[in-house]
Amino acid sequence: MKELKHEAALFKEALAAGVKYAEGRGVVKFEATDSASEKLLYIYRLLVHDKVIQPLPEDQVAEKTLRHKLAIWYSKQLPKDHPLLN
């Protein structure tokens, strides 16, 4: 797995976008006490369920790979000239 340039910033933005996506669908209401790991796993499972992203094999489902997967998902939604992609 090759790390993306600005992957940490992409993941931070992806998590916010994922929370907005999930709450916009009306399937969940995240609490302030929910950890980033809990949100990450829920958003990943929801995006797989909605067929927005391809699922990982279960033995590869770990926080590091999910962060990477979410960062890639978000980066594909950004315009080509976005600063996080340079």
pLDDT in tens, 5-17: 899 999 999 999 9
Class at the top of the CATH hierarchy for domain 7-79: mainly alpha
- Classify residue 77 by its DSSP letter: T
- Classify residue 12 by its DSSP letter: H
Please check whether residue 34 is in contact with residue 10, taking contact to mean a CB–CB distance below 8 angstroms. Answer: no
Token pair in block for residue 33: 């006490």
- 45-71 confidence digits (pLDDT tens): 999 999 999 999 999 999 999 999 999
Residue 30's Cβ-count burial label (10 Å; 0-12, 13-18, 19+) is middle
For Cα atoms 21, 7, 76, give the angle at the middle one, nearest 5 degrees: 50
What pLDDT does 86 receive?
82
Query: DSSP assignment of 17-50, as one string?
Result: HHHHHHHHHTS----TTS-HHHHHHHHHHHHHHT
